[in-house]
């Protein structure tokens, strides 16, 4: 929905999980010299000021990335992610939180390419301004659900798709599954990373069942809950990622990082995590 602005939520616990995993997967794919094609279907703004009115209003970054920024000895998965964030905050003071597209671009080699979609006119303009002059990055003002199919398969047959809509529209759950299903018919070996919120009043279960049927032998699911489900049924208490064709290295990286994340980001004694996978 065009009313959603991620600036209110940038750097929250969900971004921490999503972007730590995203960084790990991209670096794994880059172990081979072949070009990696990166697709961000719901890009949002390229960067977010954490001193903005939006960020200060919710304080979500303070309870998210703010708790990691100066933490002692985080697990390896999070050390690399934090290293990426330092690229955007060279003074050492946490002032800017990058969007997914900016993180992807910062990790790209000369041979890699990025295609980012966004429907919101302001976010699209932000992306266009941020990446102006960068020939390896293409910004599309359009629906990433529909645009994805025209981008696969990449010539190199190596690629990653990040799909993280706002889910303010309940139809996003089914749209995610349908979009991935269509794409995987053309690009079965691609890595697909689907982010979803943990909400009391909406469940991702039907979407997850559909995604599982697409690749029953190569998948990973991770969820991080930071607090009890709200008694009134409103609000996000955690988030999850469902990855099709994940790196074989990812489960052990997450198994090390998740207990630390629960301890660091947990807001009550109901904080916890779930990790499951099958990788051939």
Per-domain residue ranges of the chain: 6-279
The Cα 180–Cα 167 span in angstroms is 16
Catalytic residues: 164
Collapse the DSSP code of 158 into the 3-class scheme (helix H, G, I; strand E, B; otherwise coil) and give the result.
coil
pLDDT of residue 1: 47
Residue 233: which of 198, 265, 262, 266 has the closest Cα? 198
112 known ligand binder: no
42 known ligand binder: yes
Which fold would CATH assign to domain 6-279? Rossmann fold (3.40.50)
Residue 50: which of 71, 67, 65, 68 has the closest Cα? 65
Q: pLDDT > 70: what percent of the chain?
A: 97
Cis check: omega of the bond before 90, within 30 degrees of 0: no
142 known ligand binder: no
pTM, whole model, 2 decimals? 0.95
- pLDDT digit string (tens) for 163-208? 999 998 889 999 999 999 999 999 999 999 999 999 987 889 999 9
CA distances from 164 to 98, 176, 197 (A): 15, 9, 9
C-beta separation of 179 from 41 below 8 A: yes
Please report which confidence band the pLDDT of residue 97 belongs to, taking 50, 70 and 90 as the band edges.
very high
164 known ligand binder: yes
143 known ligand binder: yes
Mean of the per-residue pLDDT values of the chain: 94
Tokens of 4: 């959603």
């Amino acid at each position: 929905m065009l009313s959603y602005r991620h600036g209110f939520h940038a750097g929250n616990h969900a971004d921490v999980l999503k972007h730590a995993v995203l960084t790990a997967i991209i670096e794994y794919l880059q172990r081979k010299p072949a070009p990696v094609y990166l697709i961000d279907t719901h890009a949002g703004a390229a960067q977010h000021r954490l001193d903005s009115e939006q960020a200060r209003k919710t304080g979500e970054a303070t309870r998210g990335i703010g708790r990691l920024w100066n933490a002692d000895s985080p697990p390896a998965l999070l050390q690399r992610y934090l290293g990426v964030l330092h690229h955007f905050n060279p003074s050492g003071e946490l002032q800017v939180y990058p969007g997914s597209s900016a993180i992807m671009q910062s990790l790209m080699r000369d041979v890699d390419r990025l295609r980012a979609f966004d429907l919101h006119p302001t976010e699209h303009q932000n992306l266009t301004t941020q990446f102006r002059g960068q020939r390896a990055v293409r910004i599309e003002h359009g629906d990433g659900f529909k645009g994805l199919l025209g981008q696969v398969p990449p010539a190199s047959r190596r690629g990653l798709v990040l799909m993280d809509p706002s889910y303010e529209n309940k139809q996003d759950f089914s749209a995610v599954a349908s979009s991935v299903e269509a794409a995987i018919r053309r690009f079965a070996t691609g890595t697909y990373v689907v982010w979803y919120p943990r909400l009391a009043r909406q469940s991702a279960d039907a979407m997850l069942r559909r995604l599982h049927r697409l690749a029953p032998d190569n998948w990973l699911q991770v969820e991080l809950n930071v607090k009890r489900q709200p008694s009134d049924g409103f609000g996000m208490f955690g988030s999850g990622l469902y990855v099709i064709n994940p790196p074989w290295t990812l489960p052990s990286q997450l198994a090390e990082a998740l207990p630390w994340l629960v301890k660091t980001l947990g807001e009550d004694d109901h904080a916890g995590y779930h990790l499951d996978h099958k990788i051939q």
